[in-house]
Amino acid sequence: MAGSEPVAVVAGVGPGLGAALCRKLVRAGYAVVALARTDACTQTLAPELRQAGGTFMSVQCDVGDTEAVDAAFAHIEREAGMVSVYIHNASQLVAMPSLELTAAAFTGAWRVTCLGALLCAQKVIPGMLRQGRGTILFTGATGALRGGAGYAAFASAKFALRGLAQSLAREFGPRGIHVAHVVIDGLIWSGQVRRGFVREQCLLPEAIADCYLQLVNQDRSAWTQELDLRPDVEKF
């Protein structure tokens, strides 16, 4: 896979935003590596992107597992090279009454959403520092700004991810690494959402991916640290 293209890694690739990000980055000239717990989506995404002339590779990885992350990024660096863009789109949605929330469910949401973001960032930052540049983007949610009833685990994890993004931005921004947190304030038009909502009520994955690419291409004299996105009908 190693070639002349810059390398982008997207963690959390499903049929919605994750797939849209991979398509957008491939079209922008990146060699894209998808990290996912299963290959259910990447099995169909891979031939589509390769047929379009893109460079694409998928790696199965539980981003909340230290050993799995170590192995995944060793493979990526060996096969593709140093990472220029990392997008943490992985999360675990836990929705249940707080009195029924188990320790395993609570820590599971945090492990994938926040710990996974840190573990992967630790793997890509050294290479970005050597390159003198890089971009790390974290996918946030409404829950990063306000916790909803029944979403204690999800909101806690997303709040933590937002704090991590701010800390990394302050630490590594002056060293050439653009770290940004994107608040997705609404439902993404994909999967089960299509069965309960109409398209006009939701954010389109392709439109969100456009905004991510704009963040990747921002000049360092005008970096965004946090961006919030919502459909025009969403109240806020």
> Residue 236's pLDDT is what?
87
Beta bridge partners of 136: 86, 179
Place of tokens 């849209």: 20
Angle at 70 between CA 68 and CA 73, to 5 degrees: 105
Q: How confident is the model at residue 84 (pLDDT cuts 50, 70, 90)?
A: very high
CA dihedral 19, 21, 25, 27 (to 10 degrees): 60
Whether 235 maps to a domain, the answer reads no
Q: What is the pLDDT of residue 1?
A: 65
Q: What are 100-145's pLDDT values in tens digits?
A: 999 999 999 999 999 999 999 999 999 999 999 999 999 999 999 9
**Conformational region of residue 223, where left means phi above 0, alpha means psi within -120 to 50, and beta covers everything else:** beta
Long-range contacts of 102-111 (CB under 8 A, 24+ apart): 105/153, 106/152, 106/153, 106/156, 108/64, 108/153, 109/153, 109/154, 109/156, 109/157, 110/153, 110/156, 110/157, 110/160, 111/64
Count of Cβ atoms closer than 10 Å to residue 13 Cβ: 29
- Say yes or no to pLDDT of 197 above 90: no
Q: 32 is written with which tokens?
A: 């894209």
pLDDT band at 190 (very low <50, low <70, confident <90, very high): confident
The DSSP 8-state label assigned to residue 214 in this structure reads H
Alpha helices (runs of H) in 144-186, residue ranges in sequence order: 152-172
Percentage of residues of the chain with pLDDT beyond 90: 84
Question: Is the pLDDT confidence value at 221 over 70?
Answer: yes
Residue 166 forms part of a structural domain:
yes
Q: Give me the mean pLDDT over the 71-97 stretch.
A: 95
pLDDT bucket at 222, cuts 50 / 70 / 90: very high
Segment 27-68, tens digit of pLDDT: 999 999 999 988 888 888 999 998 888 899 999 999 999 999
Structure tokens at 226: 């946090």
User: How many distinct structural domains can be found in the chain?
Assistant: 1
Residue 89 within a domain: yes
What's residue 41's pLDDT?
A: 80
> Does the structure show a pLDDT above 90 at 156?
yes
Given CA atoms 58, 60, 65, 68 in this order, what sign does their dihedral have?
A: negative
**Residue 52: CATH number of its domain:** 3.40.50.720
Residue type, 87: I
Write the DSSP symbol of residue 188.
Answer: B
pTM: 0.95
- Answer yes or no: is 1 within a domain: no
* Residue 2 forms part of a structural domain: no
**Tell me, what's the pLDDT at 33?**
97
Q: Quote the pLDDT of residue 2.
A: 67
Determine the pLDDT at residue 34.
Answer: 96
For residue 215, give its domain range.
7-229
Task: Tell me what the pLDDT averaged over the chain comes to.
Answer: 94
What is the Cα 17 distance to its own chain's centre? 9
